[in-house]
Amino acid sequence: MSKVDFLKLRNKLSNPELLITDLTEYEQYFHDATEDSCVPEALIFTECENDISETIKFCREHKLSLVPRGAGTGLSGGCVPSQGSIVLSTERMKKLEINSKKKLALCGPGLITKDLQDKSNDVGLAYPPDPASYEESTLGGNVAENAGGLRCKRFGVTKDYVIGLKGILADGKKFSTGIYNKNSGFNIGDIFIASEGTLCVITEIAVRLIDAVSPGNTLLIAFNSPKDGANAVSQIIMSGIIPTILEYIDGDAIACSNEYEKSDLLDDSEAILLIETSDIDISDQTEKIRIICQNNNSKYIRIEKNDQKAESLWKVRRNISNAMKALAKIRVSEDVAVPISKFPEIIDYVRQLNERSTIRINCYGHAGDGNLHVNLMGMNGSDTELEIIEKHVEQIMKKTIQLGGTISGEHGIGLAKRKYLGLEFDKSTISYMLKLKEIFDPDNILNPGKIFL
């Protein structure tokens, strides 16, 4: 139990029951989808902006920090509580207003990504960003991490759809950007996107919607070697084809998925590409992809015309991260991204690392973007495994930078990658990021310890 007296805050909230100080049954709020965890002083389920302002004021008075949280599906430790913090969950702020004429939606930060997609589809529109966690993740978390997803090769990532934000700053005051104003002046909205809860609490998100997109063909292409699959990926993209989705899955990731799903939907191959062609020029694109894959020694190409079967394949893909987590005692998932011409090199590097290592390493990812999730799995959970994983993570980061890539394709920096920030950004760039943090949050109340060491 916390020693802080929360009575004053409780009385200021729209509903006193929003504040939880006995955390016995709230263990899931101590961590996200990574291994890190910490017990906060309290947890609060905010329902309106005033609750957030009051909580921030209370934090300032009591020298507590505030850790914003959505659904806790983050893969970089972004919402893991810091010592002496209140976790502020925006999961109950689920506003959704769709304006079909203007093709936009006003969303609460706690709205589930899939709910926005489904409701947009109901009126003939679409919200394309689709992190594999879309059935659980919230819009607030998506904006705070600038989430990508399967369809992002063709349609772009979260930031490409945000047209306005509302939120509360570290002094408890409100701000608004983009369409909530007249769009003149500095474009400060972009600073809050991917700020990982360190600059503000997002309370509303305006997103643009596009006309509904019909599905293309779902293709499952199997290869006898990771190298062939990776070469096919880079040749498809470099030839100018833009499929809606292009996912790469290596042999061991397939094995994990099949074991978890108790199915053999993904054939036992060394590498698989799961592709959804664009809905434009479906046959032409399918044929071009087929030829490139055949030239790279594909074992077979299955065109899935049955919608339900295609959907089961995508479901299996979306579950792969959970499969790894369920099978390993320790699972660290790195999301690097490299220029598409270098995709075969990073795949080969991961393969070699796995061959040399005593731990299990596999990979999969939104390959169309050059994005790769490298999974390092400790099967017995020992300290030795942890040490080996840490060493390999550093090797993977260095290799990625050497190939001209980025240490985070989409999962953010959080706790997990803060010590590698200097590999990608020079000192002066980091110092300007820190100056921004100081301007918005001089007392370091919002999500301290994240992004920067």
**β-pairing, 85-89 with 65-69?**
parallel
Site for ligand FAD contains 216 (CB under 6 A): no
Under the criterion CB under 6 A, does residue 189 sit at the interface with ligand FAD? no
Among 228, 238, 241, smallest CA distance to 296 is for 228
- As to burial, measured by CB atoms within 10 angstroms (0-12 exposed, 13-18 middle, 19+ buried), residue 308 is exposed
149 contributes a contact to ligand FAD by CB under 6 A: yes
Task: State which residue, 9 or 245, has the beta carbon closest to ligand FAD.
Answer: 245
Task: Return the residue of 81, 128, 140, 178 that touches ligand FAD, per CB under 6 A.
Answer: 140
> What's the min distance (Å) between Cβ of 193 and ligand FAD?
10
197 binds ligand FAD (CB under 6 A): yes
Residues 74-103, mask of contacts with ligand FAD (x by CB under 6 A) = xx--xx----------x-------------
Q: Are the CB atoms for 438 and 165 separated by under 8 Å? A: no
Token pair listed for 6: 């929360």
Contacting range for ligand FAD; rule: CB under 6 A; set: 10-18, 147-155, 342-350, 380-388 = 147-155
- What is the phi-psi region of residue 149: left when phi exceeds 0, alpha when psi lies from -120 to 50, beta otherwise? left
Question: Helix and strand tally (H, E) in the chain?
Answer: 15, 18
Residue 250 β-bridge partners: 271
The owner of tokens 């890539």 is: 405
Shortest CB 39 distance to ligand FAD, Å: 17
Short-list 238, 279, 317, 272, CA closest to 155: 279
- Using the minimum distance from each CB to ligand FAD, give the nearer residue, 149 or 226: 149
Taking CB under 6 A as the binding criterion, the range among 96-104, 132-140, 274-282, 352-360 that sits at the site for ligand FAD is 132-140
Query: By rule CB under 6 A, what count of residues binds ligand FAD?
Result: 37
Q: Which residues pair with 274 in a beta bridge?
A: 220, 247
**Looking at beta carbons only, is 201 or 293 nearer to ligand FAD?**
201
Question: Rounded to the nearest whole angstrom, what is the least distance from the CB of residue 141 to ligand FAD in the complex?
Answer: 2
d(CA 415, CA 80): 8
Helices (H), 170-250: 189-192, 226-238
Spatial distance between the Cα atoms of 368 and 353, rounded to a whole number of angstroms: 23
Q: Which CB atom, from 260 or from 425, has the smaller least distance to ligand FAD?
A: 260
Q: Please, which of residues 367-386 interact with ligand FAD by CB under 6 A?
A: none
**Residue 172 interacts with ligand FAD (CB under 6 A)?**
no
Among residues 145, 204, 276, 441, the one that binds ligand FAD under rule CB under 6 A: 145
User: Could you say which of 55, 142, 218, 406 contacts ligand FAD (CB under 6 A)?
Assistant: 142
Q: Is 345 in the site for ligand FAD (CB under 6 A)?
A: no
**Given candidates 9, 29, 51, 69, which one binds ligand FAD under the rule CB under 6 A?**
69
Query: Are 447 and 177 a contacting pair, CB within 8 Å?
Result: no
- The residue among 70 and 189 lying less far from ligand FAD, judged by its C-beta, is 70
Q: Cβ atoms within 10 A of the Cβ of 83, count?
A: 12
Q: Is the dihedral of CA 180, 182, 183, 189 positive or negative?
A: negative
- Are the C-beta atoms of residues 372 and 338 closer than 8 Å to each other? yes
Pairing between β-strand 125-126 and β-strand 210-211 as defined by DSSP bridges: antiparallel
**For residue 335, what are the β-bridge partners?**
373
Scan residues 277-336 and list those touching ligand FAD (CB under 6 A): 321-322
Instruction: Name the residue nearer to ligand FAD (CB basis): 41 or 145.
Output: 145
* DSSP 8-class letter at 175: E
CB of 101 to ligand FAD, least distance (A): 28
CB 410 within 8 A of CB 335: yes
Token pair, residue 244, equals 């809606």
Which pair of tokens denotes residue 146?
């600038």
Taking CB under 6 A as the criterion, the residue among 81, 128, 141, 164 binding ligand FAD is 141
Binding of ligand FAD by 407 (CB under 6 A): no
Q: Identify the residue among 105, 132, 393, 403 touching ligand FAD (CB under 6 A).
A: 132
Q: Which of the stretches 6-14, 133-141, 265-273, 292-300 binds ligand FAD when contact is defined by CB under 6 A?
A: 133-141
Chain positions contacting ligand FAD, by CB under 6 A? 32-33, 67-75, 78-79, 90, 109, 131-133, 137-138, 140-142, 144-145, 147-149, 196-197, 201-202, 321-322, 410-411, 447
